[in-house]
Structure 1
Amino acid sequence: MSYHALPSTLLLSFLPLFCQAQPLAFNPKGETLYQQAAPYLNEARAKLDAVPADMPRANAEVKKQGMILIEAAGQQLKVAIPLLEQASALGHPVAQYRLASIYNYEVHTPETYPKVCPLLQQSVSQGFAPPALMVDIYCPEFAASADFLDALASVEANQERYAHYYPQPVSMLECQPQRMPTGLAMFKGDSQDFQAEIYRLQGDRNRAQRNRFYQKAVDLNGCPKAERRMKRS
């Protein structure tokens, strides 16, 4: 190998790592559409979180109050969904996650259900952490694939890219010792919460390095579930 060939050879060898650590920027129109949807999403989520947990067994007045909140949230989502659909079509990973979540929980129909896993797969494959938790539950084929493992590994490198999109709603955070949300409420996780979940998922799938990943989850936020699994291993 000549001296002059060495720099270009080294550059080529590091190019895949460089590309992974320096992802392309989001489509500007997709970002604009997501930001337009965000206030409606936040308002809808606030109303759904406020729906009484005991609504099915409550008295008529409480049921009426709950229905008012649900209907008001629905009106907000009617505005947000078309914006999210357009942003998702342009490849915006946060919009894809929020749209998949709505399709799975709030607007669960025969038409929306088949769209959930493709949206989650596209989102997590861009290094966005929250959809990984839904993939683990609802998309078993992709969750068992090498592509999912690669996506989990890319999350840490993309933390800075997504920092300003947190907190994000999620139905369950298994590393959180707090009580499970009730009714229509959801957890709101920050970047650290989701990174701990990613370590937990990596530990679940990597037998050789299981305790190393579980320890990283414990170190990050105490993750009781990872700690219990370490003790059993």
Structure 2
Amino acid sequence: MFSACRYISLLCLLPALALADEVRIDPHADLLYRQALPFLEQADARSRALPLTPEPGDQELIGEVEALGRILEPAVALLRKAAELDHPVAQYRLALFYITYLPQNDIARSACPLLEASIRQGFAPAALGITTWCPAFSDSADYRQALERIPLNNTLYAPYYPQPAVRLECNRQQPQGLNMQWGRQRDFQAEVYRLLGTIDPGQRLTYYQKAVDINGCLPAQRRLTSQR
């Protein structure tokens, strides 16, 4: 028989366990996402080969861009199908495509619903796009709660890393051209703690220290140093 103390402790754990268990990735959606990955990898390799300062009217470059589009077309179609089935990683990668290739005025409308759906399921990379493109959500209590819940799903999402991002603030390597920065799970977790530090003054130093402990996050380290 449980002692009263152990019983109370178990009750305290139930909310956290429920939150951790509520994310379910549809197997068919996951298959669609996996089928998109080879096309995304090919597109990433081609984008790395594009010149950083293209010459106007460069026909070879135009051909490369058109080839990149042909590679991305089936990837985007598969990601859309997976995203419709609420696959959080596919939602993020589709949003990242929109952020990279859509006109700036169209990005928020297309990407924000995907990013919000992804982070509500605890997928850390979605947090970065939200801060830039989705101010209404990033200023909400729901956003902070989503950030705080991300560690509950670390085990679930571990096989999906590394992941690309437009900019990882805690990564010293600067992105070049259309190239993405690739981060490990711990890199994105550091970004989450850095973001929490920016929106929670009361716990700011604690969150910044966590970001530094995880991957040596330089912006968080600078803020810690300036406040001591």
For normalisation by structure 2, the TM-score amounts to: 0.90
Deviation at 1:66?
3.1
- Residue 46 of structure 2 is aligned to residue 52 of structure 1: no
CA contact (8 A) 2:107 2:133 kept: no
Structure 2: which amino acid aligns with 1:50? A
Instruction: Determine the C-alpha separation between the residues in 2 that align with 1:222 and 1:106.
Output: 31
Identify the residue that residue 71 of structure 1 maps to in structure 2.
66
**Any idea what the Cα deviations from partners look like across 1:45-69, whole Å, max 9, x if unmatched?**
1111221112247xx7xx4443333
Identify the residue that residue 227 of structure 1 maps to in structure 2.
221
Instruction: Determine the C-alpha separation between the residues in 2 that align with 1:185 and 1:120.
Output: 20
Structure 2: which amino acid aligns with 1:46? A
Identify the residue that residue 22 of structure 1 maps to in structure 2.
21
Cα distance, 1:176–1:24 mapped onto 2, change above 3 Å: closer
Identify the residue that residue 35 of structure 2 maps to in structure 1.
36
- Residue 168 of structure 2 is aligned to residue 173 of structure 1: yes
Percent identical pairs in the alignment equals: 43
- Residue 152 of structure 2 is aligned to residue 153 of structure 1: no
Please report the RMSD computed on the Cα atoms of aligned residues, expressed in angstroms: 2.4
Deviation at 1:138?
0.7
Structure 2: which amino acid aligns with 1:183? G
Deviation at 1:13?
5.2
Point out where structure 1 has 5 or more consecutive residues left out of the alignment: none
Identify the residue that residue 114 of structure 2 maps to in structure 1.
119
**Any idea what the Cα deviations from partners look like across 1:23-82, whole Å, max 9, x if unmatched?**
43301111111111111111111111221112247xx7xx44433332222111110111
Deviation at 1:103?
1.3
CA contact (8 A) 2:32 2:79 kept: yes
Instruction: Determine the C-alpha separation between the residues in 2 that align with 1:112 and 1:184.
Output: 16
Deviation at 1:230?
1.3
CA contact (8 A) 1:218 1:224 kept: yes
Secondary structure (helix, strand or coil) at the match of 2:201 reads coil
Identify the residue that residue 99 of structure 1 maps to in structure 2.
94
Deviation at 1:157?
1.6
Instruction: Determine the C-alpha separation between the residues in 1 that align with 2:35 and 2:46.
Output: 19
Structure 2: which amino acid aligns with 1:209? Q
**Any idea what the Cα deviations from partners look like across 1:177-209, whole Å, max 9, x if unmatched?**
22x212111111111111110110011111111
Identify the residue that residue 194 of structure 1 maps to in structure 2.
188
CA contact (8 A) 2:197 2:203 kept: yes
Q: How many residue pairs align between the two structures?
A: 226
Secondary structure (helix, strand or coil) at the match of 2:202 reads coil
Deviation at 1:113?
4.8
**Any idea what the Cα deviations from partners look like across 1:130-165, whole Å, max 9, x if unmatched?**
110010111011001111111111111211111111
Secondary structure (helix, strand or coil) at the match of 1:43 reads helix
Instruction: Determine the C-alpha separation between the residues in 2 that align with 1:51 and 1:218.
Output: 34
Structure 1: which amino acid aligns with 2:101? E
Identify the residue that residue 184 of structure 1 maps to in structure 2.
178
Instruction: Determine the C-alpha separation between the residues in 1 that align with 2:117 and 2:55.
Output: 36
